[in-house]
């Protein structure tokens, strides 16, 4: 099995960062810069898209493979001992939920920001179909040659079908304040109820990590470090 692609910055307790979309960490440098004074940030790139593999053939993705790769990246960067933290957003939040379910003893706190687990909602199948249709309308002309194309072709469908476990410990499910009244805010609330996790709001919307990196990092620190 190849070594997991990841980057490390900062110092302090380990924080595993799981980006959304196809896992490409583009645009997250401001966020990691604000987190680095407080955490050793391990940014996982599941498909290696930021490490020279964009444009290569990609298979349909499995949530379990992302969570296992993330576990291995964390172990390589921070060792197997001690507890770490996790921040996942969108598809990365789905992987974070799976990782916590598989290795609950490993994590002192997990934030899952707007995981698209829409099948937990009433009429979840219809909500999922509508979400996929809406995303497809933004398909780029060069398709899978872009990170968003990879997401549409190989990540969106399996990850929106994921149903997390119940009774997940030390979990906060988050939604953006700008997402109030929208599908993924309601989904985050449903995930919190289903898993038994806490619910919290964060600055911005679904892309709050990019829109308000400083305020988003402050909220992460507040929740994980108290």
Question: Structural domain boundaries of the chain?
Answer: 6-225
From CA 34, how far away is CA 220, in angstroms rounded?
A: 10
User: What pLDDT score does 112 carry?
Assistant: 99
Q: How far apart are CA 209 and CA 102, in angstroms?
A: 26
pTM higher than 0.95 for the full model? yes
Average model confidence (pLDDT) for the chain? 96
pLDDT at 143 over 70: no
Q: If you average pLDDT over residues 183-201, what whole number do you get?
A: 98
The Cα–Cα gap between 14 and 194 comes to: 27
Counting beta carbons within 10 angstroms of the beta carbon of residue 105, is it exposed (0 to 12), middle (13 to 18) or buried (19 or more)? exposed
Q: How confident is the model at residue 161 (pLDDT cuts 50, 70, 90)?
A: very high
Contact assessment for residue 94 and residue 20, using Cβ atoms and an 8 Å cutoff: no
Q: Which CATH number fits domain 6-225: 3.40.50.200, 3.40.50.300, 3.90.1150.10, 3.40.50.1820?
A: 3.40.50.1820
Decide which of 80 and 215 is more confident. 215
CA nearest neighbour of 112 among 183, 209, 24: 209
pLDDT score for 42: 98
Interval 44-66: pLDDT, tens: 999 999 999 998 999 999 999 99
* Res 25 pLDDT > 80: yes
Listed range (14-18, 25-29, 135-139) with the worst mean pLDDT: 135-139
- Contact, 152 vs 196, CB < 8 A? no
Q: ∠31-137-87 over CA atoms, to 5°?
A: 25
Q: Is the pLDDT of residue 1 over 70?
A: no
Please name the residues in contact with 82: beta carbons below 8 A apart, sequence gap of 6 or more. Answer: 14
Q: Which helix (H) or strand (E) is 8 found in, with range?
A: strand 6-10
Maximum C-alpha span of the chain: 46
Phi–psi pair at 216, nearest 5 degrees: -65, -45
The predicted structure's pLDDT at residue 153: 95
How far apart CA 215 and CA 34 sit, in angstroms, is: 9
């Amino acid at each position: 099995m190849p070594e997991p692609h990841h980057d490390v910055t900062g110092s302090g307790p380990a924080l595993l960062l799981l980006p959304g979309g196809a896992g490409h960490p583009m645009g997250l440098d401001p966020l990691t810069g604000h987190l680095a004074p407080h955490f050793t940030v391990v940014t996982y790139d599941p498909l290696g898209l930021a490490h020279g593999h964009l444009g290569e053939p990609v298979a349909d993705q499995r949530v379990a493979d992302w969570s296992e790769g993330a576990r291995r990246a964390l172990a390589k960067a921070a060792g197997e001992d001690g507890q770490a933290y996790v921040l996942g957003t969108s598809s990365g939040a789905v992987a974070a939920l799976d990782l916590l379910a598989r290795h609950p003893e490993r994590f002192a706190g997990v934030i899952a920001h707007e995981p698209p687990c829409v099948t937990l909602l009433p009429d979840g199948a219809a909500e999922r179909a509508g979400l996929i249709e809406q995303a497809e309308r933004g398909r780029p002309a060069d398709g899978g040659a872009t990170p968003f194309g990879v997401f549409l072709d190989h990540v969106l469908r399996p990850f929106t079908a994921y149903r997390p476990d119940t009774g997940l410990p030390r979990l906060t499910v988050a939604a953006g304040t700008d997402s109030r009244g929208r599908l993924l805010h309601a989904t985050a609330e449903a995930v919190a109820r289903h898993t038994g996790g806490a619910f919290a709001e964060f600055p911005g919307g679904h892309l709050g990590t990019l829109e308000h990196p400083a305020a988003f990092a402050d909220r992460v620190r507040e929740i994980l470090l108290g």
